Amino acid sequence: MASRSAAPERESALSLFLRGLFWSALIALVLISWGPNEVPAFSLRGLFGRGQQAGSAVVLLPTPTVPPAARVGIISGHWKNDSGATCPDGLTEEEVNHAIALRVVADLQQAGYRVDLLAEFDPRLKNYHAAALVSIHADVCNPRPDWTGFKTAPATGIQDPAQLQNSRHLKACVDARYAAQTHLPYHPASISRHMTQYHAFREIAATTPAIIIETGFLGMDRALLVNHPDEVARGIADGILCYLRNEPVHMPAPTGKP
């Protein structure tokens, strides 16, 4: 029996070896047929023809996206053009505005916004698109006791009524936050055509909400404007953030007029 059973055993071993060789070659062929990019998607399901579907599903998985930061424009009043109002000792509105504008830019960048620091007649103002634009100015140096306080004026919205509405919202936010930060009164009596008909309002895109602010008077409010530009800037930045974040603020009823 030993000699008769030996032959089938050798046959069986050879058969197993050949079978193993066949399957190895087949699996190798299957693996080679996948491209290098598809190897990570290789799976048992892939072997049964669902590899492409599984691969597509991976691609279609929701991926976290970071929305682009909103853009804000800050005009440093009279910068690169003229001195603006001047005091007898040589202090200029331009330098006071610029110290404040730089700090507003820094505050907004700190809050995650893209900020353009713009000159008074900056070429970029033509059709300027932004979530908000604020021009920073200050009023004259005359030491009249009643000339203290700030005021703002919104873009006119001549081409787009939504611009006026949004500009009024921006104005309400800046008025509220600026007054809270600086404790300056609102001084509506000194709002001039220079503000309501501000040149930049005619240059920017009709959809860009915009205001001009006169931060105070260089005469009576000089100590605040010159010695505490960081507080002045904080008031403006807080107002812009109030608007951008749609924080609750008292809004005067729309009148249809700027």
- Pairing, β 151-154 against β 210-217: antiparallel
d(CA 87, CA 141): 5
C-beta of 157 vs 216, nearer to Zn ion: 216
C-beta of 97 vs 182, nearer to Zn ion: 97
C-beta of 137 vs 171, nearer to Zn ion: 137
Of 54-62, 103-111, 137-145, 229-237, the window that binds Zn ion (rule: CB under 5 A) is 137-145
Q: Is 77 in the site for Zn ion (CB under 5 A)?
A: yes
C-beta of 135 vs 166, nearer to Zn ion: 135
Structure token pair of residue 204? 């920017």
Binding mask 219-248 for Zn ion (x = CB under 5 A): ------------------------------
Q: Is 137 in the site for Zn ion (CB under 5 A)?
A: yes
Surface-to-core class of residue 3, CB atoms within 10 Å of its CB (0-12 exposed, 13-18 middle, 19+ buried): exposed
Tell the smallest beta-carbon distance from residue 248 to Zn ion (Å). Answer: 31
Quickly list H helices, the chain. Answer: 2-33, 44-45, 51-60, 93-110, 161-182, 193-196, 199-203, 222-227, 229-244
C-beta of 120 vs 175, nearer to Zn ion: 120
Q: Is 209 in the site for Zn ion (CB under 5 A)?
A: no
- Give 86's strand partners: 92
- Contacts of residue 225, defined as CB under 8 A and 6 or more positions apart, other chains included, come to 96, 100, 138, 215, 216, 218, 232
Q: Tell me the residue number closest to Zn ion, measured at CB.
A: 137
d(CA 115, CA 100): 14
Q: Tell me how many helices (H) and strands (E) the chain has.
A: 9, 5
C-beta of 217 vs 243, nearer to Zn ion: 217
- Which of 73, 75, 84, 224 forms a contact with Zn ion (CB under 5 A)? 84
Tell the smallest beta-carbon distance from residue 194 to Zn ion (Å). Answer: 7
For binding to Zn ion (CB under 5 A), which residues are involved? 77, 84, 137
